[in-house]
Amino acid sequence: MANELQFIDPTAGGGKAKISMASRPMDLAGKVVGLLDNSKEQADVILQTVADVLRERYGVADVIVVGGMTGIAISWRSVVTAILMAGGTSFLPVSPG
């Protein structure tokens, strides 16, 4: 009995209520976009390229890149604060996949 291990299956469905996604803007024109630099190699170059494309192709007003310092914990709150301080009026979390 002392050697018996119990496991929790993280893929098992639960009784949690589904949360609907936040409404999405029709386009990014005039919006302020926040990007989080995870301090990986070349992240700054990649994010600068993404920022340039967002401005050129989608009319983004400004791109705020937060982070980029190894060993410094960056919270989503600091990203949102940076966006709002730069003139953004709303925050729309976007995650890949």
48 part of a folded domain: yes
80 part of a folded domain: yes
Q: What is the pTM of this model?
A: 0.58
| Mean pLDDT, residues 77-81 | 71
Residue 61 has pLDDT above 80, yes or no: yes
Per the model's pLDDT, the better-predicted residue between 80 and 25 turns out to be 25
| Mean pLDDT, residues 61-86 | 71
Angle at 76 between CA 57 and CA 71, to 5 degrees: 105
Task: Tell me which residue of 79, 54, 75, 74 sits closest to 64, measured CA to CA.
Answer: 79
Q: What's the structural domain count of the chain?
A: 1
1 part of a folded domain: no
Residue 95 has pLDDT above 50, yes or no: no
40 part of a folded domain: yes
53 part of a folded domain: yes
| pLDDT band, residue 15 (cuts 50/70/90) | low
Domain interval for residue 79: 32-85
d(CA 78, CA 76): 5
pLDDT for the residue 48? 92
